[in-house]
Amino acid sequence: MTALPPLDHIPADILSAADYEQRAADHIAPPTLAWLAGGSGDEHTLRANRSAFHDLRIVPRLLTDFSKACTRVHLLGTPLGHPILLAPLGHQRLLHADGETACARAAAATGCGFVCSTLSSLSLEDIAAATDEPKWFQLYFQPRRNDTLALLRRAEAAGYRAIVVTLDTPVQPLSRRAQRAGFRFPGDTPANLAAFAPPLQVALEPGQSIVLHGMMSEAPHWDDLAWLIEQSRLPIVAKGVSHPDDARRLRDLGVAGQIVSNHGGRALDGSPSTLSRLPVLRAALGQAYPLLVDGGVRSGTDIFKALAWGADAVLVGRLQGYALALVGALGVAHMLKLLRDELELCMAQAGTPTLADITADCLVGDVTC
């Protein structure tokens, strides 16, 4: 089946941010759709990320004064009109010819944040130049420290405001859905890594595991993160946190903020939903420490629940890809506007004029997995 080209207008049947998921399917090649929509293993965690939001209910409140209502938030020196960021999503030219520059422009137009991926189709410099609004750069540790340092220095020089270092995928599990669909990444090296020499092949001894002794030999350790913090002139945000002991150790090491994440269900299959980990991590880190979350967000109501459960902001991944494939930058901006509108409608009915008013007392129910 050949994917339809992107549209140049917003379809009349897009009434919510979540509508982009179904509407965009015809505009994405089936193997690419399997990659974008799928998760690792049997996709238990992928489903848990979504179902967790359904287990919480919001209690309406009456007669609240909204004369001083506000949705603005400052995260590590980055001002946002709403507590929404576009998550780092690589290879965006698989979805639209404009790639990451379209999403950067959409975020800038709607007062939302944008996080550029190490695996972006376009260079981090080209993406940074697309708008004057603040952006963050997501960093994967490279096998050689010099290459990691080169990415860090380029991000600093290009004007990024923070470094989001992804830690939850020391090995990347395969997506069975994408494999069955025949998905393959493009043969070209991602733009940000094109200047680096291929990593040396790991030599295994007889009986050693290709995963445990091969792939994991290149995985970062705590001393690598400490080195990165020492080298960086920008705040470091750790992405992929689930355990409170890790969260406390990251904070004590000097990490400036953390993102509760399971890679959108693409990391360890069977791990708990990100929403379920928010309260325990917030308790471990304290109320003032910057804590964000991604995974399963499809609506402004989901955003409200994440904020009430302990997040300062959310990151949106798959919805970004669907909107990009359907209508390019216009679609992503429209999707973000819908999320903003849905969040504000929820705040209005829940009696929460400001983000500080959105607390666990607004919710009933519980999330255990």
73 forms bridges with which residues in the sheet? 80
For residues 161 and 290, give the distance between their C-alpha atoms in angstroms, rounded to a whole number: 15
For residues 327 and 20, give the distance between their C-alpha atoms in angstroms, rounded to a whole number: 10
> What angle (nearest 5°) sits at the alpha carbon of residue 96, between those of residues 95 and 99?
100
Catalytic site includes residue 263: yes
Tally of CA atoms within 13 A in the half-sphere of 90 that contains its CB: 16
Q: Which of 27, 82, 96, 263 is catalytic?
A: 263
DSSP string, 231-276: H-SS-EEEEEE--HHHHHHHHHHT--EEEE-SGGGTSSTTPPPHHH
Helix, strand, coil in percent for the chain, rounding step 5? 45, 15, 45
Q: In three state form, how does the secondary structure of 159-185 look?
A: CCCEEEEECCCCCCCCCHHHHHCCCCC
Active site residues per annotation:
263
